[in-house]
């Protein structure tokens, strides 16, 4: 029987809102959804606008994503899982964390207003919160865990350094800084976060 700790190190296959695969047309619809979101925010986005811009039919959207909430979350999941699945393997934990931090910061900067609108809509739409947790937060967690497991394989950190208490420090801080305080995330900011917070926390465990 596979031990839980070993199983946790294997990439998890979660189909979620994207399913096992996307057709080129569906991928295009998700990309256009993000374009419209940047312009309108979540509340004002309509499926009509998305399909009009994509020259598609509503049936094409609703066949796969029956609600606007599902379409929006699928678009973000596609962005994270498809276009920016893994941070580059730089050969070091520090380099990988900095590379992933730049990806997270760029996503937050590009879609900050939209993300804020989605989070504000959670109270009115419990389904949206569930979709966000399963697909978006889950995919971001997998990104961070992939970086940490690479570091473990290199011998940079101990296995018990990888836990649910550490993975969201970087995305939470970056998102909070950009959305709550509207402060840019410079390379110096990421370096300070990695060098003064993350690496000390990850390397303090006994080997």
SS (H, E, C) the chain: CCCHHHHHCCCCCCCHHHCCCCCHHHHHHHHHHHHHHHHHHHHHCCHHHHHHHHCCCHHHHHHHCCCHHHHHHHHHHHHHHHHCCCCCCCCCHHHHHHHHHHHHHHHHHHHHHHHHHHHHHCCCCHHHHHHHHHHHHHHHHHHHHHHHHHHHHHCCCCHHHCCCCCCCHHHHHHHHHHHHCCCCCCHHHHHHHHHHHHHHHHHCCCC
Query: Is position 10 within any domain?
Result: no
Same domain, 103 and 149: yes
Model pTM greater than 0.85? no
CATH of the domain at 30: 1.10.10.60
What is the model's pLDDT at position 115? 66
Higher pLDDT, 15 or 201: 201
Q: Identify the domain containing residue 178 by its residue range.
A: 86-207
Between the ranges 11-15, 127-131, 147-151, where is the mean pLDDT highest? 147-151
């Amino acid at each position: 029987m596979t031990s839980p700790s070993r199983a946790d190190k294997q990439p998890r296959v979660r189909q979620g809102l994207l399913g096992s695969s996307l057709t080129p047309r569906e991928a295009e619809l998700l990309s256009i959804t993000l374009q419209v979101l940047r312009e309108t925010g979540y509340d004002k986005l309509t499926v009509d606008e998305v399909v009009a811009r994509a020259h598609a039919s509503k049936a094409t959207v609703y066949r796969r994503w029956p609600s606007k909430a599902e379409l929006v979350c699928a678009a973000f999941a596609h962005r994270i899982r498809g276009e920016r699945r893994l941070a580059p393997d730089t050969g070091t934990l520090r380099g990988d964390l900095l590379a992933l931090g730049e990806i997270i910061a760029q996503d937050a900067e590009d879609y900050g207003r939209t993300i804020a609108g989605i989070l504000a809509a959670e109270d009115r739409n419990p389904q949206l919160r569930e979709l966000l947790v399963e697909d978006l937060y889950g995919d971001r967690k997998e990104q961070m865990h992939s970086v940490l497991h690479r570091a473990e394989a290199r011998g940079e950190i101990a296995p018990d350094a990888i836990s649910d208490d550490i993975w969201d420090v970087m995305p939470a801080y970056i998102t909070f800084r950009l959305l709550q305080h509207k402060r840019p995330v410079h390379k110096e900011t990421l370096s300070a976060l990695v060098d003064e917070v993350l690496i000390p926390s990850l390397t303090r465990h006994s080997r």
